[in-house]
Amino acid sequence: MSARIGIVGIGHTRFGNSSEYDLADVMAYAATDALVDAGILEQRRQVDQVFVANMASGLFCNQTSVASALVSRMDMEPVPAELIENGPASGASAIKVAYMAIASGMADVVLVAGGEIMRKVSGWQATDIVATMLHTEAEYNMGLTLPSFGGMFARLYMERYGCTERDLALVAVKDHANGALNKYAHVQGTCTIDAIADSETAHVVNNYVAEPLRIYSTCPVTDGAAALVLVNMDSPKAALFRKKPVRIAGIGSATDTHCVHNRKDPLRLDAVRIAGEKAYAMAGIGPKDVSFAELHDAFVILELAISEELGLFDRGRAYLAVREGATAIDGRLPINTSGGLKSKGHPVGATGVSQVVELVRQLRGEAEEGRQVKDPRYGMAVNFGGFGNNVVATICAKD
Amino acid sequence: MAIDELEKKLRPPELGIKPYPAKMITLASGEIMVVREARREEVGVLLGTVYPLIGVPTDYYDIVATRMYEELLGWYRYRTANEFVLVGAINGVIAGIVTSRCVDPKLGMSLHTLTIKRGQRVGAQLFAAKMEDHIEFQGEDEVYIVAESPIGWRRWMIEYELEDRSHLYPAVRHELGGVPTFVLTRKLWDAVKASKCTGIRPVPPEILATANKLIMPSEYPQIPGFKR
């Protein structure tokens, strides 16, 4: 791949409860911030293309065609705009499509905005809406939801590798320590291992959601938006921007069976592994070169499993790395420096974009004090759709 | 306090509320919340805590705070029969308040649950403590419950799988405004208490001492920029 494509603008809303607001307005906040960061707010009509990532605004907030709505909110007509929907991996897919648009020569500057308003409905309804991405007859109609899959996956992982509920809690403690310092995170509070795992009252304070997953093993239901400005670094338009680009070094994506039961081993996340391998190959690096990673921990067990599929840790050993502190902000491979989905939140359409915003913040050295990775070179993000049936891996580099 | 004859006539008959032993809960943040009975002489700090929330429409804080303000006055001035107030305090700072009353030896009437510190399931813990008080300590068999907000509905009606007796209206009716009445029975409580209700007793004296003097919160997540 010869194109050199970089990120020159980032924007992000404070994740949390934005249910009183319109989705297009929330996305417009993030998009405006990205254009300001890029220094092209006044020249925004010079953007060649807008891609909007969203999973289910029609179901969550009775609103469709949000790409058109966003362009209008931003006063950017006649810039072309399209919606990218790929479940909870919509955000990273939109970045991938933006990359392809620039690499193809159809565009030099692309605005990517991802957003979701999930809290207009109850938590139960949100869980049900997210579950519509499962196989209708074999899974959804049987009452399966994403937390139930997460619970079964966690149980099997624990039985096979010796991981315990306390190990899952350690992931949450680490994620919340990072999220507490992230100005964009939904839950900006720390938790202690004593309170959520060891104390006499922990079983109620940190109660089950889908056994063995507990509240502190599971991401909150969150609203929010994130945005990026991508540019062809070899285009004359690259001179428009005030910040040095963070280069997108590699992108890979892959699919897996829609039904989890059709996989030979339900603990193998082949789409993650293949997407990661593609991204590594495109970037010309391997797992040992990754300085930090943002991994899709909708359930903390996924942070462990994804990190193993990417080769960052040996299979069945990631929880031991967490015990040793290897994935903490000052560890040898910090993971989910933003707080991850667990603490930062998971507005499904925004998450993939938000993860890459975090890569850029870290690579620029703009993360808050206390959660800035020391001298990072490569950051990797994995955005996980379905229960691992559509995955996008992205690697960003500081050149 | 001497009670004159007229005041005696104004006061409702009292059943005699049995004491609720204090307990402590380690919240997810690691902070220790002491849950204990409020004392009548603490009504000032309780009212001062509730008052700023009367103007907050988000999540129905306005109606809950307004009604709780009245309930605290009714308790303080002996105008509500058999009312009790529990408070959750972290280092003395009030994190949440619940109000309730006993109708008779067998029936409790849950009034309000007000969470000030959010994101730590303070409200869930205090509501559970209120139910514990009714069933375990007052010895009642049933508690009538209503919800005035969607959060309350999800927390109580759904999570506790309360029995819906709204079809029996008006024979079965909660005292708050005629909204649908749900019931926590002893059987339902026995089914959920292990997963909903917790706390360590007795509270070590040094921790209990932190909650001896209640303190009004200096900030409210519900009111950005709040200054007392």
Check: CB of residue A232 under 8 Å from CB of residue A375.
Answer: no
Give the model's pLDDT for residue A121: 93
**What is the average pLDDT value for chain A, to the nearest integer?**
97
A114: number of Cβ within 10 Å: 36
pLDDT of residue A2: 67
Look at residue B2 and tell me if it is in a domain: no
Q: Do A201 and B29 touch (CB under 8 A)?
A: no
Count of residues in chain A: 399
In a domain, B147, yes or no: yes
Residues of B in contact with A215 (CB under 8 A): 28, 121
For A206, name the nearest residue in chain B, comparing CA atoms only: B28
CATH of the domain at A74: 3.40.47.10
Mean pLDDT for A12-19 is: 96
- Give the total number of structural domains in chain A: 1
Subunit contact B198:A123, Cβ cutoff 8 A: no
Asked whether the beta carbons of A305 and A153 are under 8 A apart, the reply is yes
Distance separating alpha carbons of residues A112 and A110, to the nearest angstrom: 6
- Give contacts of B197 with chain A, Cβ < 8 Å: 204
Do the Cβ atoms of B195 and A207 come within 8 Å? yes
CA torsion sign for A194, A200, A201, A205 is: positive
pLDDT for A35 beyond 90: yes
Closest CB from A122, A195, A215 relative to B27: A195
| Residue A1: pLDDT over 60 | no
What is the number of CB-based contacts under 8 A between chain A and chain B?
A: 59
pLDDT band at B177 (very low <50, low <70, confident <90, very high): confident
Q: Is residue A281 part of a domain?
A: no
- Closest among A325, A355, A323 to A342, alpha carbons compared: A355
Give 3-state DSSP helix, strand, coil % of chain A, rounded to 5: 40, 20, 40
Residue A362 in contact with partner chain B when CB distance is under 8 A: no
Residues of chain A contacting B150 with CB distance shorter than 8 Å: 122
Radius of gyration from C-alpha coordinates of chain A: 19
Domain that holds residue A16: 5-121+221-240
Q: In chain A, which among 183-212 make CB contacts under 8 A with chain B?
A: 187, 189-192, 194-196, 199-208
CB atoms within 10 A of CB A239: 7
Inter-chain residue contact A195 with B158, CB threshold 8 Å: no
**A281 pLDDT above the threshold of 60:** yes
Question: A345 CA to chain B: closest CA distance, Å?
Answer: 13
pLDDT at B151: 85
Q: Work out the pLDDT band at B1, boundaries 50, 70, 90.
A: low
Based on the structure, what is the number of domains in chain B? 1
What pLDDT band is residue B156 in, cutting at 50, 70 and 90? confident
Out of A200-209, B129-138, B169-178, pick the least confident.
Answer: B169-178
Mean pLDDT of B7-29: 94
Assigned domain for A94 exists: yes
Quote the pLDDT of residue A85. 98
CA dist A139 and A149 (Å) reads: 10
> pLDDT-based confidence at B14, cuts 50/70/90?
confident
Contacts of A62 (CB under 8 A, 6+ apart): none
Nearest CB to B27; choose among A122, A205, A215: A205
Identify residue A154 by its one-letter amino acid code. Answer: A
Assess if residue A215 is contained within a domain.
no
Lowest-confidence region among A194-203, B138-147, B148-157:
B148-157
Q: A233 in a domain, yes or no?
A: yes
pLDDT band with cut points at 50, 70 and 90 for residue B152? confident
Residues of chain B found within 8 Å of residue A180, distances taken between Cβ atoms: none
Answer whether A203 sits within 8 Å of B150, measured CB to CB: no
Q: Does some domain include residue A152?
A: no
Is residue A166 a part of any domain in this protein? no
Strands A213-214 and A208-210: antiparallel
Contact A199 B196 (CB under 8 A): no
pTM: 0.93
| pLDDT value of residue A3 | 84
- Cβ–Cβ gap B28/A206 under 8 Å: yes
pLDDT at B15 over 90: no
pLDDT tens-place string over residues A352-373? 999 999 999 999 999 999 999 9
Q: Do A204 and B196 lie within an 8 Å CB cutoff?
A: yes
Give the ipTM of the model, two decimals please. Answer: 0.84
pLDDT tens digits along B26-77? 999 999 999 999 999 999 999 999 999 999 998 899 999 999 999 999 999 9
With contacts defined as CB-CB under 8 Å, which chain A residues touch B30? 190-192, 194-195
Helix boundaries (H) for chain A = 23-38, 57-60, 66-73, 90-103, 123-131, 146-161, 165-179, 193, 202-205, 270-283, 300-309, 318-324, 340-344, 351-364
Quick check: is B227 in a domain? no
| A125 contacts chain B (CB < 8 A) | no
Interface probe with B: pick from A191, A205, A221, most Cβ of B within 10 Å = A205
Please state the rounded mean pLDDT for residues B165-179: 90
Asked if the structure places residue A82 within a domain, the reply is yes
pLDDT for residue B2: 73
Q: Which one of B23, B24, B26 would you mutate to disrupt binding with A, by most A Cβ within 10 Å of its Cβ?
A: B26
pLDDT band at A283 (very low <50, low <70, confident <90, very high): very high
A368 with A178: CB under 8 angstroms?
no
Mean pLDDT, chain B, as a whole number? Answer: 95
Q: Is the pLDDT of residue B139 over 70?
A: yes
Residue of A nearest to B198 (CA): A201
Q: Do B25 and A201 count as a contact with CB atoms less than 8 A apart?
A: yes
Q: Which domain holds residue B90?
A: 18-210
Nearest to B26 among A122, A195, A207 (CB): A195
Lowest mean pLDDT among A185-194, A318-327, B148-157: B148-157
Residues of A in contact with B35 (CB under 8 A): none
Rounded to a whole number of angstroms, the distance from the CA of A354 to the nearest CA of chain B is 22
Cis peptide before B180 (omega within 30 of 0): no
**Interval A179-190 mean pLDDT:** 97
CATH of the domain at B152: 3.40.630.30
